[in-house]
Amino acid sequence: MADFNIFHIILLLGTIQGFILTFLLFVVKKNNQSANSFLAIFLLMLSLTMLGRFLIELSFIKSLPNFLALPDAIIFLYGPLMYIYLKKLLLKNELSKTQVLLLFLPAILFVLSEIPLLLNEKSYLKALWIKNTTYRFIIIEGTAILYNIYFLFLQFQLLLRYQKISDNNFSFRQYPSYLKVLYSFTGLTLLIWFISYLSWVFGYYSVLSAYGYRAIWLILPIITYIMGYFAMKNPEYFKIASTKNNSSRKKLVEHEKLKILNEIQTIMVQEELYKNPEFSLTVLSNKLSIDRNKLSQLINNEFHKNFNEWTNEYRINESKTLLLETNLSIKEIFYQVGFNSKSAFNRAFKNNTGTTPSDFKKK
């Protein structure tokens, strides 16, 4: 048995954290339970991977070498699992059983390709597989890296598409922080993995060729620690409001447009709905008793802005008055006008005025 060191402790703690999060995501019945089940499976795969590495490091399963390759099918599962999770969480899209099967097909094919290792010791096919282990894993690992990079690209497209839909429905950014962190660490892991793989295949020396694979095993537990942090800080991060858009595109007649525009402007000024940080297109449509899709269409066409930009214009105009005419702090002002973070306020203010709130006040 190998000596127990800090690396093993990090792996073990990451594994335990991952199993705990997996259990919580499976048993806690909240919104997005269907989507969170795929996140739970992703974390379970991550935890099993770390557990396998931990056992191999300490030589616990050294006596079963022919079975060690089978868990490597996990490397074909991370990308599809995160893609399905984001698709169900952000866009509420369901995939058919056939589509899910196709996404997991590479993992299934890999497991089938390892069956010869389980054959009799005298088997020619098993001898051939063992003899060409290096070449097989060059192909397998290279394919897995490209497969995961492909899904990283698909996930990025989903995030962009969701942000566009969200901006048309909400006055606040429906973009959970943990998704940014998770996506960033996934990208970093893939980059290190790819460079380390090239170093191994082509035999050239680099820092990553010496420490790359070890760095990946350190990043994996960090991901579970970060997910645990967000889960404790705000469990609501794992729930997200629906942004489903219906395809209704009936055109509004001119007199109907003018009537709705007058109603919108009146209610926004009189009731100051924009000051609600949770203000959304649904809230406004319910208030006016107007179809949500018609309302979205009107705001986009008449104001040439999405709902988020349009609402923020009211907030910024109010904040400019407060900056000039009161002694309130910037923090007090952005909360008072409806923003829920300073970064969102600064970004919206600069987009609207071309300067920061502090510079605006000085000028």
- Looking at 9-18, 22-31, 316-325, which range is the least confident one? 22-31
pTM of the model: 0.74
As a whole number, mean pLDDT of residues 49-74 equals 67
8 A C-beta contact, residue 330 and residue 357: yes
Fold of 6-238: Rhopdopsin 7-helix transmembrane proteins (1.20.1070)
8 A C-beta contact, residue 298 and residue 260: yes
Q: What is the pLDDT of residue 154?
A: 93
Token pair listed for 280: 């959304």
Q: What is the pLDDT of residue 150?
A: 95
Q: What is the pLDDT of residue 246?
A: 47
User: Higher confidence at residue 246 or residue 58?
Assistant: 58
Q: What is the pLDDT of residue 244?
A: 52
Could you give the 3-state DSSP secondary structure of residue 170?
strand
Spatial distance between the Cα atoms of 287 and 171, rounded to a whole number of angstroms: 15
Q: What is the pLDDT of residue 176?
A: 62
Q: What is the pLDDT of residue 247?
A: 42
As a whole number, mean pLDDT of residues 113-125 equals 80
Residue 180 confidence class, pLDDT cut points 50, 70, 90: confident
Q: Is the pLDDT of residue 152 over 90?
A: yes
Could you give the C-alpha distances from 104 to 50, 79, 83, 101, in angstroms and in order? Answer: 21, 10, 12, 5
As a whole number, mean pLDDT of residues 205-219 equals 72
The CATH number given to 254-362 is 1.10.10.60
As a whole number, mean pLDDT of residues 213-218 equals 80
Q: Is the pLDDT of residue 72 over 50?
A: yes
Could you give the C-alpha distances from 146 to 28, 138, 197, in angstroms and in order? Answer: 35, 12, 12
Which residues share a beta bridge with 280?
Answer: 170
Neighbours of 96 (CB within 10 A): 8
Model confidence over 185-194: pLDDT tens digits? 889 889 988 9
In the chain, where are the structural domains located?
A: 6-238, 254-362
- Only one residue has tokens 């406004």, namely 284
Q: What is the pLDDT of residue 185?
A: 87
Neighbours of 11 (CB within 10 A): 23
Spatial distance between the Cα atoms of 280 and 86, rounded to a whole number of angstroms: 22
Spatial distance between the Cα atoms of 304 and 296, rounded to a whole number of angstroms: 11
As a whole number, mean pLDDT of residues 251-274 equals 80
As a whole number, mean pLDDT of residues 18-24 equals 87
3-state DSSP percent of the chain in helix, strand and coil, to 5: 75, 0, 25
Which residues share a beta bridge with 170?
Answer: 280
Scored b (16 or more CB within 10 A) or e, 12-30 reads bebbebbbebbebbbeeee
Spatial distance between the Cα atoms of 89 and 229, rounded to a whole number of angstroms: 20
- Looking at 32-41, 278-287, 321-330, which range is the least confident one? 32-41
Which residue type, as a one-letter code, is found at position 64?
L
Spatial distance between the Cα atoms of 293 and 207, rounded to a whole number of angstroms: 54
As a whole number, mean pLDDT of residues 279-293 equals 85
Token pair listed for 310: 């349009």
8 A C-beta contact, residue 219 and residue 189: yes
Q: Is the pLDDT of residue 144 over 60?
A: yes
Model confidence over 28-50: pLDDT tens digits? 665 566 777 888 888 888 888 88
